Structure 1
Amino acid sequence: MTNRATAAVELQAVTRRYGTGESAVTALDRVDARFEPGSFTAVMGPSGSGKSTLLHCAAGLDRADAGRVVIDGVPLDGLSERNLTRLRRTRVGFVFQSFNLIPALTAAQNVALPLRLAGRRPAAGEVSSVLAEVGLGDRAGHRPSELSGGQQQRVAIARALVTRPAVLFADEPTGALDATSGKEVLRLLRTAVDRHGQTIVMVTHDPLAAAHADRVLFLADGRVVDELTGPVDAELVAVHTARLEAARTVGA
């Protein structure tokens, strides 16, 4: 039997609303979701279904209006902003569609940034090791402008992994990349799960990207409405996505 305290991330009846009165929008509606250590979950759904809101609430970037979020055994609702920031810096990694690298810093300095923000000097070889993991051991001294888009995203992945977080959240990580670079990024994420037991939660609209995951959660109108578990097939993901889009069109 699984010990419930071991989840990398757990959402319990999480609700998030924006606005007030008649204009209020419920982005998440009592969502329950559990992400096990070493799992790779893709989150999909039509535009406006609550995918990014789920990621932001699960990562502690946004506060839920009701319900509970627990990261690595720590409930977020009882944390001060300072302690929440500390938790995000040490236990959570982020990879976004826009790479969010600091232009004036080298690849190595960008990767080391989360450690320095957490008040820790990188150990000898720590940064070079994680850059080597993403195939950029020879690009440590290059600035973002000297790297391709795919290389910049790999630096962003290295930066997310350097703290060995309990969970890595990825929001459309291949959205700004060509097909070849996108496949390489997905391969690196898959390797992080298989080789290092990294937990990854990835928002995507791409069935081919979702097929790299162990599980796909489908959202509609702020609720989890369907789920596929691995091995995940891209064609099956596309069928489920099209079904949700069709249902949304009929209901509009």
Structure 2
Amino acid sequence: MEALDSAVELTAVTKHYAHGVTALDDVTVGFGRGTFTAVMGPSGSGKSTLLQCAAGLDKPTSGRITVDGRDLTQLTERKLTLLRRDRIGFVFQSFNLLPSLTAAQNVALPLKLAGRRVDPELVRQSLDAVGLAERAGHRPAELSGGQQQRVAIARALAARPAVLFADEPTGALDTNTSRDVLRLLRSLVDRHAQTIVMVTHDPAAAAYADRVLFLADGRICGQLLDPTAEAVSGRMLMLEESC
């Protein structure tokens, strides 16, 4: 995939940790604009490290990472912080909403902390994109777990990120609620051309993606296009048996 067609590009990325642990081993991969990629692999395969390096949360030992055309490895810490704030969105398993703030205030908070003018219409549009415009005045305790995760996604979307990184976004949700959140992520790709990279252990969740990328021992060991839950499960079983 050409770099110009990629929202995120990793080139020969390696990440070493202490005690001789290699979390990523010469990884080269692109994540196309307006696509949904799920990243899977056995425990310790490097999934989380890949996401953290790609999102600029951790620095690779070697290699090159570009997000929206900017080389993260060449940025100062301040410029990297600004890029993460302006062009990268994050959604995690924990919702990380402030209980004293309304949904709209939680969405607006990162913009305020960044010293940016908060446009109420942008906040409304972000909540509308996740189907919660009518719940803007509700606090987290007044929302279900799925609705809280939707607010967290709206918060990530408010900055209009080039890429949205999701780390086990449905891990704390029940099956039906998880399905609703995954449908939302799918619709953000289909209707708004949002780029999403999601780490998951759930084959059913991965089946919502355009592509599933498989890691083992810090290396990419295959992919599935237009995946089904059954095909993902079969590939994961093979990986786990070989590890």
TM-score normalized with structure 2 length: 0.97
Q: Is the 8 A contact 1:7 1:34 kept in 2?
A: yes
Query: Which residue of 2 is the match for residue 139 of structure 1?
Result: 135
Counterpart amino acid of residue 154 in structure 1: R
Superposition map of 1:225-236 within 5 A = 225-230=221-226, 232-236=227-231
Query: Which residue of 1 is the match for residue 234 of structure 2?
Result: 239
Q: Is the 8 A contact 2:3 2:30 kept in 1?
A: no
Counterpart amino acid of residue 243 in structure 1: M
Superposition deviation, residue 3 in structure 1 = 4.9
2:156 to 145, 153, 160: 160
Superposition map of 1:180-195 within 5 A = 180-195=176-191
Query: Which residue of 1 is the match for residue 90 of structure 2?
Result: 94
Query: Which residue of 1 is the match for residue 66 of structure 2?
Result: 70
Superposition deviation, residue 6 in structure 1 = 3.6
1:50 to 43, 46, 50: 46
Query: Which residue of 2 is the match for residue 171 of structure 1?
Result: 167
Counterpart amino acid of residue 218 in structure 1: F
Cα deviation digits, residues 137-162 of structure 1 (max 9, x gap): 12112221221111110000101111
User: Secondary structure of 1:201's partner?
Assistant: strand
What is the distance in 2 between the residues matched to 1:72 and 1:6?
10
Superposition deviation, residue 80 in structure 1 = 1.0
Query: Which residue of 1 is the match for residue 77 of structure 2?
Result: 81
Task: Label 1:45 to 1:3 Cα distance change in 2 as closer, same or farther (>3 A).
Answer: closer
Q: How many residues align?
A: 243
Counterpart amino acid of residue 7 in structure 1: S
Counterpart amino acid of residue 237 in structure 2: A
What is the distance in 1 between the residues matched to 2:152 and 2:179?
15
Q: Does 1:36 align with 2:35?
A: no
What is the distance in 1 between the residues matched to 2:73 and 2:128?
37
Q: Is the 8 A contact 1:90 1:118 kept in 2?
A: no
Q: Is the 8 A contact 1:6 1:72 kept in 2?
A: no
Counterpart amino acid of residue 82 in structure 1: R
What is the distance in 2 between the residues matched to 1:69 and 1:242?
30
Q: Is the 8 A contact 1:6 1:73 kept in 2?
A: no
Superposition deviation, residue 117 in structure 1 = 3.0
2:56 to 53, 56, 60: 60
Counterpart amino acid of residue 219 in structure 2: R
Structure 1 runs not aligned, ≥5 long: none
CA RMSD, aligned part only?
Answer: 1.1
Counterpart amino acid of residue 237 in structure 1: V
Superposition deviation, residue 15 in structure 1 = 0.7
Counterpart amino acid of residue 225 in structure 2: T
Counterpart amino acid of residue 84 in structure 2: R
Q: Does 1:10 align with 2:14?
A: no
What is the distance in 1 between the residues matched to 2:36 and 2:53?
18
TM-score normalized with structure 1 length: 0.94
Stretches of 4+ moved more than 3 A in 1?
none
